[in-house]
């Protein structure tokens, strides 16, 4: 019979788990254990030889379980399943998105190196770059939204550090404005500045698109990073992260993880295995709802601009990049409310179904005010350049009935109207 290639969503319930090793249990149990018993001293010796890279792995040999900071069945099965979505060789899961990101930056950058990154970045990443990497002597260049590739190449050359370019770090689409950068073009820039064994890597934080809607490794990136707290976890009940890439790079990431000890716990890994079973249906529903929400907001008299990939105009450069590298417009919708902070807050304070909270990608819809919340730490001038104003509201759309979401938006926007009218009367 011809070999059938199953789609990732069909494998999320079973892939990588052998019931016969767990009393026939249909579901993978939680391996809540710190250490693993060796059958013999010889076996223990062989496991350590592999773990420390003292000899090559023989073809049929599997790395043995030693100690849960190094490996654990829940982590390994989770990593194997995550590899399927991004078609990656290997994956490492972390106790948070930030630990995944900081471990990658620490492993591949050293004092004197140059890091080029896209703006705006996730606040925690931005802080780590400016307050930690700069302190240890890593040079950085931030690219602004819409900046052409030639301008970026010029900035790298003009920096005098072109020969030390070690990484291009991208976040696309960017939070909260959904600005996109062309991953393929930046991977060509990285190649242009790579020489022999001095490779400039491209790392992409793909949290905003989850493992379904964009596959950076297929666009030429070397590493893809996730806050698994968001779509992958999907239920707003855990914090975790993941990194994926080729074997060579992932050996380095996993080795540093072993020594920083920032791997995910078996219990969180188990929750993530459960989450992965519904990843596709959740994300499908979320993006479907988000398009309905964006279409509704676009035509609302209290709303000025809606920033959503599903509303990009055909023929624009952004639309072309979107067509090339995204499979769906995602479930993050931002918009400018007419007025300012007062109008934005009135809207947020009157939502009844959507919750007023930061984070994203969960089953429930969330709303927040980037300028005073997620992006409060960003420099004001940069914030203006990136259109993060008093008027901007960010929504993460969940799996509720779309009619209920529209009802909620309608009534909360309605409050903005009456609020402004009342103000006028007082005057
Ligand atoms: C949330 C988030 C992170 C950080 O992840 P944690 O799991 O909170 O540590 C990084 N990047 C993006 C784009 C995020 O949304």
Tens-place pLDDT, residues 276-319? 999 999 999 999 999 999 999 999 999 999 999 999 999 999 99
Identify the band that residue 377 occupies on the pLDDT scale cut at 50, 70 and 90: confident
**Predicted local distance difference test score (pLDDT) of residue 423:** 52
Helices 341-350 and 402-426 pack at an angle, to 10 degrees, of 130
pLDDT exceeds 70 at position 424:
no
Rg (CA), the chain: 23
pLDDT exceeds 80 at position 169:
yes
Of 134, 81, 83, whose CA–CA distance to 105 is shortest? 134
pLDDT exceeds 60 at position 422:
no
Q: Of the given ranges (118-127, 248-257, 325-334), which has the lowest mean pLDDT? A: 118-127
- Residue among 205, 222, 336, 408 flagged as catalytic: 205
- Gap between the Cα atoms of 286 and 282, Å rounded: 6
3-state helix, strand, coil in the chain (%, to 5): 45, 15, 40
**Predicted local distance difference test score (pLDDT) of residue 2:** 80
Which DSSP letter does residue 4 get?
A: P
- Does residue 227 sit in helix, strand or coil? strand
- Count Cβ atoms within 10 A of the Cβ of residue 130 and give its class: 0-12 exposed, 13-18 middle, 19 or more buried: middle
Instruction: Tell me whether residue 230 is one of the annotated catalytic residues.
Output: yes
Percent of the chain past pLDDT 90, that is, above it, reads 87
Separation of CA 124 and ligand 1 centre (Å): 7
Angle formed at CA 238 by CA 119 and CA 345, multiple of 5 degrees: 55
The answer to whether 344 touches 336, Cβ cutoff 8 Å, is no
pLDDT exceeds 60 at position 333:
yes
- Does residue 304 sit in helix, strand or coil? strand
pLDDT exceeds 80 at position 243:
yes
The answer to whether 221 touches 203, Cβ cutoff 8 Å, is yes
Instruction: List, chain by chain if needed, residues with CB within 6 Å of any ligand 1 atom.
Output: 96-98, 122, 124, 171, 175, 205, 207-208, 227, 229-230, 239, 241
- Gap between the Cα atoms of 268 and 253, Å rounded: 20
Identify the band that residue 378 occupies on the pLDDT scale cut at 50, 70 and 90: confident
Q: What is the pLDDT of residues 3-61, one digit of tens each?
A: 899 999 999 999 999 999 999 999 999 999 999 999 999 999 999 999 888 888 888 88
- Residue among 69, 252, 274, 415 flagged as catalytic: 69
Instruction: Tell me whether residue 307 is one of the annotated catalytic residues.
Output: no
What's the mean per-residue pLDDT of the chain? 95
Other CB atoms within 10 A of residue 214 CB: 24
Rounded mean pLDDT, 181-188 = 96
**Predicted local distance difference test score (pLDDT) of residue 427:** 44
């Amino acid at each position: 019979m011809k070999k059938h290639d199953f789609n990732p969503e069909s494998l999320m319930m079973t892939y990588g788990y052998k019931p016969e090793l767990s009393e026939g249990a249909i579901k993978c149990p939680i391996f809540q254990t710190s250490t693993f018993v060796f059958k013999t001293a010889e076996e223990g010796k062989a496991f350590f030889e592999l773990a420390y890279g003292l000899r090559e792995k023989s073809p049929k040999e599997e790395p043995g379980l030693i100690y849960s900071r190094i490996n654990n069945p829940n982590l390994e099965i989770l990593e194997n399943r995550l590899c399927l979505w991004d078609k990656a060789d290997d994956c490492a899961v972390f106790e948070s998105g930030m630990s995944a990101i900081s471990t990658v930056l620490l492993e591949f950058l050293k004092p004197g190196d140059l890091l080029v990154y896209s703006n705006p970045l996730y606040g925690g990443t931005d802080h780590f770059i400016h307050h930690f990497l700069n302190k240890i002597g890593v040079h950085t260049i931030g690219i602004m939204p819409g900046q052409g590739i030639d301008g970026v190449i010029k900035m790298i050359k003009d920096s005098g550090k072109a020969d030390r370019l070690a990484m291009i770090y991208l976040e696309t689409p960017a939070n909260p404005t959904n600005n996109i950068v062309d991953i393929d073009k930046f991977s060509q820039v990285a190649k242009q500045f790579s020489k022999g064994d001095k490779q400039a890597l491209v790392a992409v934080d793909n949290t905003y698109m989850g493992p379904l809607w964009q596959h950076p490794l297929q666009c030429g990136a070397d590493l893809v990073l996730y806050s698994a707290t968001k779509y992958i976890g999907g239920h707003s009940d855990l914090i975790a992260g993941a990194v994926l890439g080729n074997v060579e790079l992932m050996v380095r990431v996993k080795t540093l993880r072993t020594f920083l000890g920032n791997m995910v716990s078996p219990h969180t890994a188990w929750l993530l295995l459960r989450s992965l079973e519904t990843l596709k249906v959740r994300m499908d529903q979320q993006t479907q709802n988000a398009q309905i929400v964006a279409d509704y907001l676009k035509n609302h008299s209290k709303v000025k601009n809606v920033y959503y990939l599903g509303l990009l105009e055909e023929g624009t450069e952004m639309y072309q990049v979107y067509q090339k590298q995204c499979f769906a417009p995602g479930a993050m919708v931002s918009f400018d409310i007419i007025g300012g902070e007062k109008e934005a807050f009135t809207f947020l304070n009157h939502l009844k179904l959507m919750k007023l909270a930061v984070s994203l990608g969960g089953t429930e819809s969330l709303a927040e005010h980037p300028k005073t919340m997620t992006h409060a730490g960003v420099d004001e001038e940069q914030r203006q350049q990136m259109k993060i104003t008093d008027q901007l509201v960010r929504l993460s759309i969940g799996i509720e009935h779309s009619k209920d979401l529209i009802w909620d938006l309608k009534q909360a926007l309605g409050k903005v109207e009456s609020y402004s009218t009342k103000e006028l009367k007082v005057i």
